[in-house]
């Protein structure tokens, strides 16, 4: 079996944020990327950071030609965070924090105060997707690093309407891919120096539905590439820094953990976190039996780790105090590219991520004009 791709917090998406934070006069205690800092020192009028959801190395290699503007300007390959998923990676990018600091590890987390697994972006019950009221949350919205900038750049954001911001005045909401790039263009045409932090939710959504190798995904990825090239050609004195929060792989099978009655009987609550990075809270009397049972039945498709061992390895960052959210064990999906169905409402995605395989690799794209 191929080796897992573990986060490298010297060459990860987090180090993009640490570099930008340093340049913008924000507090930073994490390593920077000289490949970015060397460009920033050229003092461009405009700086644009783009996070294009899901556009990792694997989707790029499958769907873009070598001479496309995005692919030919890849300067280096970085790792995502683990789990390699949007909740986790985007919070690390926005806040310049390790996952172990911010705690937004995966789509679903266990909230001890209400004894439920919660879809943390939506505040819904992971078991049935019903809305729930949570008085005290174990995680909070941390400050975005650029909100504390000390710089002569005007700070702007280009976000979908569901992303929370403090600076509403300089936030530009979009709905379509065309709107996304047009909003960026509008800001760049202003007279003063502009910094833009932007996030596009595609092609992640399309790849989930149709698969990374689908015609639909190829069309939307090439559309994003073409829209960016048009923006690039119509702007001046601008540095573009582009990455993805994670990549994706084509799903090759499904494992219905929720229907494994023997497994469920050993757990305090049904599995959570995500489909290729599954957390388990195990009843004390079953911990030895759980390890033996799970490894015997699922070892081809998942590698089971004690959560403490992963924390000690630094997989979630070098420091932080949110480990209680991760459970006793985490099962990590292998290169068989299968996903686990954790509840009756789990989706059978055709493309997915969250593990330590090819979805961990993302590009650092640098383009200047």
Q: Domain range spanning residue 276?
A: 105-138+252-348
Specify whether 146 is located in the same domain as 233.
yes
- pLDDT one-digit tens code per residue, 225-268: 999 999 999 999 999 999 999 999 999 999 999 999 999 999 99
- pLDDT one-digit tens code per residue, 113-163: 899 998 988 889 888 888 988 888 888 989 999 999 999 999 999 999 998
In this structure, what DSSP letter does residue 323 have? G
pLDDT at 1: 61
- Inter-helix orientation angle 177-188/215-233, to 10°: 10
Specify whether 180 is located in the same domain as 43.
yes
Measured distance CA(242)–CA(229) in Å, rounded: 13
CB 244 within 8 A of CB 54: yes
Of 322, 368, 258, the residue nearest 103 (C-alpha): 322
- pLDDT one-digit tens code per residue, 50-97: 999 999 999 999 999 999 999 999 999 999 999 999 999 999 999 999
Query: How many structural domains compose the chain?
Result: 2
pLDDT at 238: 97
Measured distance CA(276)–CA(263) in Å, rounded: 17
Measured distance CA(360)–CA(94) in Å, rounded: 18
CATH number of the domain bearing residue 123 = 3.30.1360
In degrees and rounded to multiples of 5, residue 193 shows phi and psi of -70, 130
Specify whether 284 is located in the same domain as 170.
no
Report how far apart, in Å, the C-alpha atoms of 303 and of each of 99, 166, 255 are.
Answer: 21, 41, 14
Specify whether 222 is located in the same domain as 171.
yes
In a domain, 175, yes or no: yes
Measured distance CA(249)–CA(339) in Å, rounded: 11
Specify whether 127 is located in the same domain as 147.
no
Measured distance CA(358)–CA(369) in Å, rounded: 31
In this structure, what DSSP letter does residue 112 have? T
pLDDT over 70 percentage in the chain: 100
Specify whether 111 is located in the same domain as 90.
no
In a domain, 233, yes or no: yes
Cα dihedral 270, 273, 276, 279 sign: negative
Specify whether 176 is located in the same domain as 70.
yes
- pLDDT one-digit tens code per residue, 197-227: 999 999 999 999 999 999 999 999 999 999 9
Q: Which residues pair with 367 in a beta bridge?
A: 240
Specify whether 20 is located in the same domain as 91.
yes
Specify whether 86 is located in the same domain as 167.
yes
- pLDDT one-digit tens code per residue, 310-334: 999 999 999 999 999 999 999 999 9
pLDDT at 261: 95
pTM comes to 0.95
Specify whether 176 is located in the same domain as 241.
yes
Print the SS3 string covering 188-257: HCCCCCEEEEEEECCCHHHHHHHCCCCHHHHHHHHHHHHHHHHHHHCCCCEEEEEECCCCCEECCEEEEH
Specify whether 244 is located in the same domain as 318.
no
């Amino acid at each position: 079996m191929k080796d897992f791709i573990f986060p490298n917090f010297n060459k990860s998406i987090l180090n993009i944020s640490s570099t930008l934070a340093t340049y913008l006069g924000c507090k930073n205690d994490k390593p920077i990327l000289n490949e970015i800092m060397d460009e920033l020192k050229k003092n461009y009028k405009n700086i644009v950071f783009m996070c294009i959801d899901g556009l990792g190395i694997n989707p790029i290699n499958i769907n873009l030609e070598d001479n496309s503007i995005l692919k030919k300007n890849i300067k280096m390959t970085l790792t995502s965070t683990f789990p390699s998923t949007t909740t986790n990676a985007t919070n690390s990018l926005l806040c310049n924090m390790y996952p172990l600091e911010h705690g937004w590890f995966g789509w679903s987390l266990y909230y001890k105060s209400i004894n439920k697994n919660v879809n943390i972006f939506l505040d819904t019950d992971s078991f049935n997707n019903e809305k729930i009221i949570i008085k005290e949350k174990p995680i909070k919205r941390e400050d975005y690093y650029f909100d504390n900038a000390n710089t002569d750049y005007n700070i702007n954001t280009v976000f979908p309407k569901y992303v929370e911001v403090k600076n509403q005045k300089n936030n530009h909401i979009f709905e379509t891919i065309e709107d996304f790039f047009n909003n960026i263009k509008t800001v760049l045409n202003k007279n003063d120096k502009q910094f833009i932090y932007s996030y596009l939710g595609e092609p992640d959504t399309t790849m989930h539905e149709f698969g990374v190798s689908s015609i639909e995904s190829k069309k939307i990825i090439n559309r994003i590439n073409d829209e960016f090239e048009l923006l690039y050609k119509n702007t001046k004195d601008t540095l573009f820094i582009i990455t993805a929060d994670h990549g994706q792989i084509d799903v090759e099978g499904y494992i219905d953990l929720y229907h494994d009655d023997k497994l469920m009987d050993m757990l305090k609550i049904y599995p959570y976190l995500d489909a290729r990075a599954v957390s388990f809270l195990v009843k004390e009397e079953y911990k030895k039996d759980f390890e033996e049972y799970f490894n015997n039945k699922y070892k081809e498709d998942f590698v089971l780790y004690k959560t403490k061992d992963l924390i000690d390895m630094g997989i979630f960052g070098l420091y932080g105090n949110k480990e209680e959210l991760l459970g006793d064990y985490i099962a990590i999906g292998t290169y068989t590219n299968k996903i686990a169905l954790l509840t009756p409402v789990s989706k059978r995605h055709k493309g997915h991520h969250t593990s330590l395989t090819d979805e961990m690799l993302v590009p650092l794209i640098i383009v200047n004009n």
